[in-house]
C-alpha cells in the first residue's frame, strides 16, 4: 500500500484505523473489518508497522478516529453516534503508546459524542476542546497535526449549523478540516468556510490578527482546509499545495487564530519535503 501510494505521488494516507473492536457489530468499524483487533496492544502493534512502512516510502499517516469509534452502534456518516455508555479508557491506549514512541504524524478526530471526555451530551469529540486540546494535546501529550473527519458527514450536518461547526472545530484544536464535498458538490464551499470567521468577527465586533488559508483543488472538489496564523499564512498555504495536499491554494481571509497551529503545519510540511 505505502509503495503504491508513493509511486503515484501521494504523501499522506488518512489511515490507519486504530479503533479497538469493542463492538464487532459496529456498522462502520467492526462489520466492515476496519479494526485490527479487540485487543488494544494488537491494534498498537499493527498500527506501528503500518506507520513505519509508510514513513519508509515517504508517506505520512493519520491515526483515527480519536478518541475511539470502535464501540459505537451507529455510523457517524449517517447521523450522530453516542459512545458515552460503551467507550472505555482502553480505546486510548493505541494513541497513548504510539504518541510516546514517536509513531504518530497526525490524529483524526471523530464525530462521536463521548460525554466522559467532552462533558457534553451534545458536542461530538471533533468539536470538543476538552477532548482535543485538554486530553489529546495537553494530557497525552500530542504535538503533531490534528485533522477532522469529513465535516460534511451527517453527524455534523444534521445537528450543527455550517458556521458553528467550522468555528467549533477550529477552537476545539483541529488544525485541518476535511470537506469531502462529494455528495452534493458545492464550488462555493471555500468561500463559505472563509466567511464563517468574518461573519462571527463582525457579529462580536472583534478584530482578528491572523489568517485562514483555504486549500482546495480549485474546481469545487475540496478535500482539505488548512488553518494557520500570522504572516506566514500565504507561505504555508503554498507549501501545503506544493507538497501535494492540494493542487492549488484558494481563498485567504482573516481569522483569529494563534501561531501554534502554524508551527504544527510548518513542521508537517517540512516532514513531507524531507526537511528536518
Q: Which of 19, 82, 149, 175 is catalytic?
A: 149
Residue 160: count other Cβ atoms within 10 Å of its Cβ.
20
CB 178 within 8 A of CB 145: no
8 Å CB contact between 124 and 65: no
Report CA torsion sign: 166, 168, 170, 172.
negative
Measured CA to CA, the distance from residue 23 to residue 244 in angstroms comes to 36
Residues 6+ apart with CB under 8 A from 45: none
Helix, coil or strand: residue 157: helix
Cβ atoms of residues 125 and 117 within 8 Å: yes
Determine phi and psi for 164, rounding to 5 degrees: -65, -40
Q: Known catalytic residue: 77?
A: yes
Give the whole-angstrom CA distance, residue 174 versus residue 146. Answer: 5
Q: Determine what percent of the chain falls in helix, strand and coil, rounding each to the nearest 5.
A: 40, 15, 45
Residue 149 annotated as catalytic: yes
**Which residues partner with 60 through β-bridges?**
12
What is the distance between the alpha carbons of residues 130 and 125, in angstroms, rounded to a whole number?
8
Within a 10 A sphere around the Cβ of 19, how many other Cβ atoms? 28
Compute the half-sphere exposure of residue 160: CA atoms within 13 Å on the CB side of its CA: 22
Measured CA to CA in angstroms, residue 113 lies from 64, 123, 177 at distances of 15, 6, 18
Catalytic positions, please?
77, 149
Amino acid at each position: 500500500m505505502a509503495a503504491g501510494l508513493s509511486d503515484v505521488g501521494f504523501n499522506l494516507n488518512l489511515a490507519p484505523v486504530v479503533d479497538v473492536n469493542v463492538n464487532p457489530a459496529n456498522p462502520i468499524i467492526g462489520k466492515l473489518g476496519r479494526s485490527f483487533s479487540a485487543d488494544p496492544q494488537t491494534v498498537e502493534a499493527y498500527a506501528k508497522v503500518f506507520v513505519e512502512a509508510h514513513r519508509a516510502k515517504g508517506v505520512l499517516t493519520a491515526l483515527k478516529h480519536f478518541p475511539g469509534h470502535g464501540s459505537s452502534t451507529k455510523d457517524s456518516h449517517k447521523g450522530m453516534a453516542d459512545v458515552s455508555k460503551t467507550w472505555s479508557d482502553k480505546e486510548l491506549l493505541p494513541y497513548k503508546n504510539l504518541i510516546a514512541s514517536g509513531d504518530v504524524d497526525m490524529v483524526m478526530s471523530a464525530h462521536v459524542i463521548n460525554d466522559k471526555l467532552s462533558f457534553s451530551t451534545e458536542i461530538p469529540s471533533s468539536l470538543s476542546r476538552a477532548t482535543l486540546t485538554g486530553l489529546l494535546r495537553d494530557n497525552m501529550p500530542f504535538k503533531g497535526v490534528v485533522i477532522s473527519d469529513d465535516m460534511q458527514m451527517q453527524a455534523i450536518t444534521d445537528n450543527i449549523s455550517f458556521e458553528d461547526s467550522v468555528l467549533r472545530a477550529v477552537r476545539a484544536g483541529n488544525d485541518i478540516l476535511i470537506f469531502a464535498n462529494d455528495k452534493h458538490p458545492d464550488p462555493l464551499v471555500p468561500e463559505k468556510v472563509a466567511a464563517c470567521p468574518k461573519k462571527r468577527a463582525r457579529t462580536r465586533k472583534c478584530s482578528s490578527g491572523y489568517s485562514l488559508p483555504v486549500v482546495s483543488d480549485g474546481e469545487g472538489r475540496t478535500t482539505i482546509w488548512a488553518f494557520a496564523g500570522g504572516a506566514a499564512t500565504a507561505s504555508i498555504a503554498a507549501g501545503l499545495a506544493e507538497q501535494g495536499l492540494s493542487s492549488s491554494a484558494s481563498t485567504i481571509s482573516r481569522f483569529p487564530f494563534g501561531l501554534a497551529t502554524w508551527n504544527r503545519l510548518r513542521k508537517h510540511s517540512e516532514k513531507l519535503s524531507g526537511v528536518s
